[in-house]
C-alpha cells in the first residue's frame, strides 16, 4: 500500500446509513491522511448535503427504491437500475478504487454490482438485526459483511460475516452532564427527558409529545425534543408556552453528546444508529419502532435489546395512549433506570469503526 488508498463508499437515504459511512471515512482518513475517498449517493437524498458538510466529495446516481404499490416510478425502476449500474461502472473505472464499501440504501446496489463485476474487493456494513433487501441480494457477491447483531447467518454466508457493531460518531460519547445542563439551560434538580425521532423526525412521537407537554410540566420534568424539519414550526409554537419550565423543541440537535449527557431517559425510534448510540452512551430508553420501514426492521432492532432487558418497547400504534405513562413511570424509578443503563452498556461496541476499517484494509492488502 505504498500508493495512497482509494476507496468508494456508497449508500445513504437516512442518517442511519450516512453517519456510519462518514464514521468509516473519518477512521480511514485518520489512519491514512492522504487517502482518496469518494462517496456515491442517490440524487435528491439527504446524503447529497450531509456528506459534503462532513468534508467529502459525493457523486449522485438517479436511483430510487421500489414503491409498495404499482406506480409509474416502478415501471421505470429497471431502467434506472441499468443506467445507475452503468454510471457506477464508469465512476469505478475513472476513480480506480482499491475497495468499495456499501452501507445500504438505494445507491449502494449499483456500485457494489459494478465493483463485483470488475473483481474489486467489496465490503457491506449491515446496521440492522434484519438485513436490508439490497444487502441480502448482494451478500454472496462481496468479500466481507460487517454486522452489528448475532444470528445474521440467516441472511448471509456465515464465512463472510464479521461481528463488529455499528460505527457511531465518536463525538457523541463522553459529554459532561454539568456542561450539558448549562448548554441547554436546564435545572440540575429536575429530571430530563430526551425525545428523538431520527434524522427526519417521527410523526407519532411528535403528536404524543405535543399532547404530553402539560403532563410533563406538571410532573416537573424537563424536555429536549428533536422534531425534525417538517414538524418543527408547529412544535416550536406548541412548546413555547412551556419554555419557562425547561421544555424545549428543536428542529435538529447538533450537540447530541450534550443531549445524551443531560438526559435521564431517552424516547427514540429504533433505527440501527439510534440503538447503537443509546448502547454506547448507556442510556435508559423507551423505543418506539417506526412501522414505515422495510421488513419492520426497527421492531426487530428493538426486540434485540428488549430480549436482554436493555430497553422498554412501546409500539407505534400504542404510543398515543401509553408512551408518556411509561416515560413518567421510568423517570420516577431510578433503580429501573440504572438496571436498563447497565444492560444496554453490555451491548455497546465502542470499537466498531476501528474493526470495520481493519477488515477493509485486510481486503485491500490481500
Between CA 78 and CA 64 the distance in angstroms is 10
Q: Which residues are annotated as a binding site?
A: 14-16, 128, 169, 199, 253, 272-277, 298
Which residues are within 8 A (CB) of 138 and not within 5 positions of it... i.e. 6 or more apart?
Answer: 102, 108, 109, 112, 113, 116, 124
Longest CA span, the chain: 64
Q: The C-alpha cell of 181 is what?
A: 445542563
Q: Which residues are annotated as a binding site for UDP-N-acetyl-alpha-D-glucosamine?
A: 14-16, 128, 169, 199, 253, 272-277, 298
Between CA 19 and CA 102 the distance in angstroms is 13
Residue 4 has what DSSP assignment? P
The answer to whether the beta carbons of residues 312 and 306 sit under 8 Å apart is yes
Of 229, 168, 173, 170, the residue nearest 203 (C-alpha): 229
Between CA 125 and CA 108 the distance in angstroms is 11
Amino acid at each position: 500500500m505504498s500508493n495512497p488508498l482509494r476507496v468508494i463508499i456508497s449508500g445513504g437515504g437516512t442518517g442511519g446509513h450516512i453517519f456510519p459511512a462518514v464514521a468509516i471515512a473519518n477512521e480511514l482518513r485518520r489512519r491514512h491522511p492522504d487517502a482518496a475517498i469518494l462517496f456515491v449517493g442517490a440524487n435528491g437524498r439527504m446524503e447529497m448535503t450531509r456528506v459534503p458538510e462532513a468534508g467529502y466529495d459525493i457523486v449522485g446516481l438517479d436511483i430510487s427504491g421500489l414503491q409498495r404499490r404499482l406506480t409509474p416510478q416502478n415501471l421505470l425502476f429497471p431502467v434506472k437500475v441499468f443506467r445507475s449500474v452503468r454510471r457506477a461502472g464508469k465512476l469505478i473505472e475513472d476513480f480506480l478504487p482499491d475497495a468499495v464499501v456499501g452501507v445500504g440504501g438505494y445507491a449502494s446496489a449499483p456500485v457494489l454490482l459494478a465493483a463485483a463485476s470488475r473483481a474489486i474487493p467489496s465490503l457491506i456494513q449491515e446496521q440492522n438485526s434484519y438485513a436490508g433487501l439490497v444487502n441480502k441480494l448482494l451478500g454472496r457477491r462481496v468479500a466481507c459483511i460487517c454486522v452489528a447483531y448475532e444470528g445474521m447467518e440467516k441472511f448471509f454466508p456465515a464465512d463472510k460475516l464479521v461481528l463488529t457493531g455499528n460505527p457511531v460518531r465518536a463525538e457523541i460519547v463522553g459529554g459532561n452532564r454539568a456542561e450539558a445542563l448549562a448548554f441547554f439551560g436546564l435545572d440540575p434538580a429536575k429530571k430530563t427527558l430526551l425525545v428523538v425521532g431520527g434524522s427526519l423526525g417521527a410523526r407519532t412521537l411528535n403528536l404524543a409529545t405535543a399532547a404530553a407537554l402539560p403532563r410533563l410540566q406538571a410532573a416537573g420534568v424537563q424536555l429536549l425534543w428533536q422534531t425534525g424539519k417538517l414538524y418543527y414550526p408547529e412544535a416550536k409554537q406548541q412548546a413555547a408556552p412551556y419554555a419557562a419550565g425547561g421544555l424545549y423543541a428543536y428542529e435538529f440537535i447538533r450537540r447530541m453528546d450534550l443531549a445524551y449527557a443531560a438526559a435521564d431517559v431517552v424516547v427514540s425510534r429504533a433505527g440501527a444508529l439510534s440503538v447503537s448510540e443509546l448502547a454506547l452512551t448507556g442510556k435508559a430508553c423507551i423505543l418506539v419502532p417506526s412501522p414505515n420501514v422495510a421488513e419492520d426492521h426497527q421492531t426487530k432492532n428493538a426486540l434485540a435489546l428488549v430480549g436482554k432487558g436493555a430497553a422498554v418497547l412501546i409500539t407505534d400504534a400504542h404510543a398515543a395512549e401509553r408512551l408518556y405513562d411509561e416515560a413518567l413511570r421510568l423517570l420516577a424509578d431510578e433503580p429501573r433506570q440504572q438496571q436498563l443503563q447497565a444492560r444496554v452498556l453490555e451491548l455497546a461496541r465502542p470499537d466498531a469503526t476501528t474493526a470495520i476499517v481493519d477488515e477493509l484494509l485486510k481486503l485491500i492488502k490481500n
